[in-house]
Amino acid sequence: MEPVPTLVHLDSPFINFRDFDFGEGSHGYRWVDAKHFRLPSEVLDGRDALAALISHPQFRDTYDGAGVHDWPRHGQWWLDRITPDTYEAVDAATAADVIHSWASQHGNVPEPLASRLHQEIYIPIRKATSRYLLGQLPEDAFHDYGPIHIDYHELVLIDRPAATLTLLVAADD
């Protein structure tokens, strides 16, 4: 078995819906966490890139406020239940619709938030050369204190010309 290429973590911008005025609507305690990585040149295909992501220490984040730790969990799931095959290739329209439907489920999104989502989420989704959506995992994949989110959506964007991989997690508390 060949070693998995290593991704380089660049940054992790966080969009907290509570930072925006929803007027009489609801922010629903929603947020988007984006982890950006430099994609090494030796990653040959999407499955190799997904394997590199899954093996990266930044992937060990339960998104519960505890941060990244060396534990066998990712999101709401046991880490060993997530493989490149648990992700489904999707087109840009499908990926954007996942985020848009989730973001607007409680009503209109305020313009400043819509603008930020456009710049930081929807444009990268369109520019990506491939996109992967984490599929439905079985009930026994939930770790010992998952599920902790009502809605949880995970996308991986690969932008070959920019040599980047972005892990997007859109969820609520």
Structural domain containing residue 136: 34-172
pLDDT value, residue 65: 73
Average pLDDT over the chain, rounded to an integer: 91
Higher pLDDT, 97 or 73: 97
pLDDT value, residue 158: 97
Evaluate whether residue 96 is within a structural domain: yes
pLDDT value, residue 2: 59
Evaluate whether residue 81 is within a structural domain: yes
Cβ neighbours of residue 20 under 8 Å, at least 6 residues apart?
27, 109, 110, 112, 113
As for how many domains the chain has, the answer is 1
Evaluate whether residue 134 is within a structural domain: yes
pLDDT digits (tens, 9 = 90+) for 11-68: 999 999 999 998 887 777 899 999 999 999 887 799 999 999 999 999 998 887 777 7
Q: State how far the Cα of 140 lies from the Cα of 80, in Å rounded to an integer.
A: 12
Evaluate whether residue 144 is within a structural domain: yes
Task: Give the single-character DSSP code of 6.
Answer: P
Evaluate whether residue 45 is within a structural domain: yes
With 60 as the cut, is the pLDDT of residue 1 above it? no
Give the position of tokens 């239940």.
81
pLDDT digits (tens, 9 = 90+) for 104-154: 988 889 999 999 999 999 999 999 999 999 999 888 877 876 677 778 999
Give the position of tokens 């989704």.
125
Half-sphere CA count of 71, side-chain side, radius 13 A: 15
Evaluate whether residue 22 is within a structural domain: no
pLDDT value, residue 100: 97
What are 111's two structure tokens? 């313009």
CATH number, residue 76:
3.40.1000
Evaluate whether residue 9 is within a structural domain: no
pLDDT value, residue 150: 77
Give the position of tokens 């969009």.
15
Q: Compute the radius of gyration of the chain from its Cα atoms.
A: 16
Give the position of tokens 């990506």.
128
Q: State how far the Cα of 75 lies from the Cα of 166, in Å rounded to an integer.
A: 16
Evaluate whether residue 164 is within a structural domain: yes
pLDDT digits (tens, 9 = 90+) for 82-98: 999 999 999 999 999 99
